[in-house]
């Protein structure tokens, strides 16, 4: 479904409340204080007006640092209101990590060192958690560095990196298996055993991604 198709139900909700809706209002249809906002909808009723900005995902707001200031300006005008509509709700993970700081490359390597030491000590449950935490962090880093499309849940990160040729098919399959074990572990299910080789594979792939030439070039460019 295109963005324009997703926009229509939003317009219909305002119309159902008695508003007259204009899709993609032109600057000439707006007062000077709102002309540059690039609003997706203008809803009008009597002497009241609403400018509506529609985004598919909340993470798109990071590219709009002036949005809060523009919203305050519009809301301060008599008879005007600003509405922000997010089409896709945040996933539980996105709500939890909102505004959380990303680890540095050094911190990711420290997680991997802890994972390796835990494998050596036969503490495979601890090793699995450390290894997967490091892998998720470096996958998010690559997604950001290369501006790859996709959300940040573990499965979607794996798919994004595989579909862009960063993970091989063998690595993708192995990591999917490791993700199943990790999920059972962190959600409190009892595992008969954890394959140490599987945990080592997660560590090895994460180290490859941290130290690989593609990521190094992206970090240098940034």
Same-domain status, 66 and 126: no
CA pair distance 162, 159, nearest whole angstrom: 5
Longest C-alpha distance within the chain, in Å? 72
C-alpha span between 42 and 49 (Å, rounded): 7
Q: Is 78 exposed, middle or buried (0-12, 13-18, 19+ CB in 10 A)?
A: exposed
In a shared domain, residues 115 and 80: no
Residues 125 and 23 in one domain: no
Confidence of residue 89 (pLDDT cuts 50, 70, 90): low
CATH value at residue 202: 1.20.120.330
Task: Specify the residue for token string 């911190």.
Answer: 107
Domain boundary among 86, 117, 140: 86
Looking at the structure, tell me whether residues 81 and 106 fall in a common domain.
no
Are the beta carbons of 115 and 131 closer than 8 angstroms?
yes
> Residue 33's domain is classified under what CATH number?
3.40.1350
186 with 208, same domain: the answer is yes
Report pLDDT for 152.
73
Q: Tell me what the mean pLDDT of segment 162-169 comes to.
A: 86
CA dist list (Å): 148 to 44, 80, 95, 101, 217: 38, 37, 21, 20, 16
Among the listed residues 140, 166, 170, the one whose alpha carbon sits nearest the alpha carbon of residue 153:
140
Q: What is the pTM of this model?
A: 0.57
Give percent of the chain above pLDDT 90.
48
Q: Which of these three, 23, 57, 86, is where a domain ends?
A: 86
- pLDDT-above-70 percentage for the chain: 85
- Residues 182-217 have pLDDT tens digits of 999 988 888 889 999 999 999 999 999 998 645 434
Q: Is the separation of the CB atoms in 179 and 158 below 8 Å?
A: yes
Q: What is the pLDDT of residue 213?
A: 41
User: Which of 37, 59, 86 is a domain's end point?
Assistant: 86
* d(C-alpha 20, C-alpha 41), whole Å: 10
Q: Assess whether 138 and 206 both reside in one domain.
A: yes
Residue 29: which domain range? 3-86
**DSSP character at residue 56:** S
């Amino acid at each position: 479904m295109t963005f324009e198709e997703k926009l229509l139900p939003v317009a219909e909700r305002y119309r159902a409340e008695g508003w007259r809706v204009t899709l993609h209002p032109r600057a000439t249809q707006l007062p000077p204080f709102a002309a540059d906002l690039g609003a997706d909808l203008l809803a009008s009723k009597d002497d009241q007006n609403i400018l509506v900005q529609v985004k598919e995902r909340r993470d798109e707001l990071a590219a709009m640092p002036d949005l809060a200031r523009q919203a305050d300006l519009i809301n301060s005008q008599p008879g005007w209101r600003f509405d922000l509509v997010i089409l896709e709700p945040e996933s539980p993970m996105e709500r939890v990590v909102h505004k959380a700081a990303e680890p540095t490359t050094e911190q990711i390597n420290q997680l991997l060192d802890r994972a390796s030491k835990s494998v050596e000590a036969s503490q495979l449950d601890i090793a699995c958690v450390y290894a997967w935490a490091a892998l998720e962090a470096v996958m998010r880093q690559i997604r950001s560095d290369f501006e790859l499309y996709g959300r940040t849940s573990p499965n979607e990160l794996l798919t994004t990196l595989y579909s862009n040729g960063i993970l091989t098919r063998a690595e993708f399959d192995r990591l999917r298996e490791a993700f199943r074990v990790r999920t059972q572990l962190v959600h409190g299910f009892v595992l008969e055993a954890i394959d140490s080789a599987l945990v080592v594979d997660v560590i090895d792939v994460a180290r490859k991604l941290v130290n690989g030439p593609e990521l190094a070039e992206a970090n240098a460019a940034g």
